[in-house]
A and B are shown apart, each in its own frame.
Chain A
Amino acid sequence: MTTTSSQPAIELAPQLPYSALRQLLSEITGDSKHLPSATSTLDVLWVLYDRVLRIDPQHADDPDRDRFLLSKGHGPASYYAVLAAKGFVPRAWLRAMGTFDSPLGYHPDRVLIHGVEISSGSLGHGLPIGAGTAVGLRAQGSPARVIVLVGDAELDEGSNHEAIAYAARAGLENLTVVVIDNTSSTHGWPGGIARRFDVEGWAATDVDGRDHEQIAAAFSTRHDGRPLAVVAHVEPKGSM
């Protein structure tokens, strides 16, 4: 049973540029001075939807679409802003986020939002789900890739490490994880996060999480027969 979104067809909105995100974020948060740099995930999300993922609102149910799984469902304002800029959700929804009748919660729900692949919020679920989806797509011969976004503190959850070990041994080349590293993990990752993926058999690369060229290039890193980990470093949490 794969229930698709019950949301009615919506009129397609025009696509908006990166420069519009600041305004969209303000509409969500009600804070007119909102800086894009205050959201750790914004640039990675933008590059994914603008340059990496083969997905658009007209093909949100295509079996061969790329899958983006926002595992770190906390602070989804930047996700919603990018989805609105790319025409997945109506801009009019943004101002009502979190209200009783709004499809947009403080954690996204795949059943309520067309184009959202998983319902998240509790940490440590996206990567194990993504590993299963990657297996399922590979079994069906689909060219689609699965990209999961996690946070460095989210990696505290042990469930991630079950998936990290398995995905490498299963050779899930169609699975990519992007770790937004804002140094917020309570006990940290001595030696770096990329090394942990590397030792398990992933291809792993570090990038500046604000540099769009570096981010885009990282997602095309060659990783024959192996899953790919992109560790995107941004300003430490609370430093802005």
Chain B
Amino acid sequence: MTPLELRNHASSIRRTSTTGPARSHAVATMREQFVETATDLVESDPRVAVVLADISSASFGPVMRRHPDRVLNVGIREQLMVSAAGGLALAGMRPIVHSYASFAVSRAYEQLKLDLTYQDVGAVVVSIGASYDDTGSGTTHFAPEDVALFDTLPGWHVHVPAHLDEVDPLLRGAVVGGGRHYIRLTDYVVPRLRIVPTTRPRAVVVAVGPTVANVIEATHGLDVAVLPITTVRPFPLQALRRAVFELTGEADVILVEPYLAGTSAHEVATALVDVRHRLLALGVGRRDLRRYGTAAEHDAAHGIDVVGLRRSIKNFVDAGYKMPDGE
């Protein structure tokens, strides 16, 4: 990690631990929960290995000293991190690899494709950084494309948790269950809001992972049903069909994803292949903003803050949706 990354990392921890919900135990971020659960899995299962490329290696220090053969830090070598995971799996181990999404996924995409997927072996890839957690670090540390990249590869399960307490069961399930899994963590812990059911919803809003908090706030008082989902691959096709047919009777769907807008649009098309439907796909835009600031400012710029979501959803449901300028 560069000094800048270290500083941003430290500030992001402060950010979430001061603004997140008060917790009785020490774990304040998804990354800390990941380290705790992965450490426990290494201790309890001799097949489990963790491969790091410097990122988070200090947090894994204690378990690395106890199990140097199964907790590896290969240095700033993300290609090797993923390839070595493939080799470990070929030797009968269960590898977990971890870095920023931009390094573990975009940079090592060819290794994910050939050294895990084409070798037909399993691994669990756990990323941090998400689309723009480290806003101050700029585009090199942003990965809004990660889920779209996994979408090109067969057999990957993709999980996008919204809340801290989802991380432990997701990671355990992925490691114990076998296969190829991608778990996309974020430093931003969103509040857990209650979904107020509407009596006659006119559309279903699919809220992926941490977008659920903004979606619930944005749709307050609107006649829409909110369907929060955590696992986006395989996509919950039947759950979407049930929501559409049982709740609304109208095939109007709004998809809100915390990564590239429209990444799951084709999944919605598949789920509703036999009915005429409308779809509004919201998420991170493709244009590089070249901005730093805060994640909330980036949400607003991409129209997935509370105000932007409410405006888009209301327009769409009122059937008067107008394409914003420049799209």
Contacts and interface: CB of A to CB of B under 8 A. Distances in A.
Interface string B241-252: 000000000000
Interface in A94-128: 110-111, 117-119, 122, 125, 128
Interface residues of A, number: 33
B50 to A, nearest CB: 11
B90 A132 contact: yes
B87 A139 contact: no
Contacts of A122: 110, 114
Contacts of A111: 120
A133 B93 CA distance: 9
Interface stretch (B77-85, B224-232, B257-265): B77-85
A132 B87 contact: yes
B72 A135 contact: yes
Contact of B80 (A1, A128, A142): A128
Contacts of A130: 87
B5 to A, nearest CB: 20
Nearest to A134: B87
A125 B69 CA distance: 22
Given A136-B49, A166-B74, A1 B122 contact: yes
Interface string B53-71: 0000000000000000110
Contact of A136 (B93, B111, B119, B179): B93
Interface of A: 1-3, 63, 67, 110-111, 117-119, 122, 125, 128-140, 142, 158-159, 162-163, 165-166, 170
Contacts of B115: 125, 128-129
Q: Which 3 A-B pairs have the closest CB atoms?
A: A132-B87, A136-B91, A128-B83
Contact of B83 (A1, A132, A134): A132
Contacts of B85: 132
Question: Which bucket holds chain B's interface residue count?
Answer: 35 or more
A133 B87 contact: yes
Interface string B94-120: 010000000000000011001100111
Contact of B86 (A132, A138, A142, A158): A132
Given A129-B84, A135-B87, A1 B121 contact: yes
Contacts of B69: 135, 138-139
Nearest to B72: A135
Residue of B46, B49, B77, B122 with most partner-chain A CB within 10 A: B77
Contacts of A158: 79
A3 B91 contact: no
B119 A129 contact: yes
B88 A1 contact: no
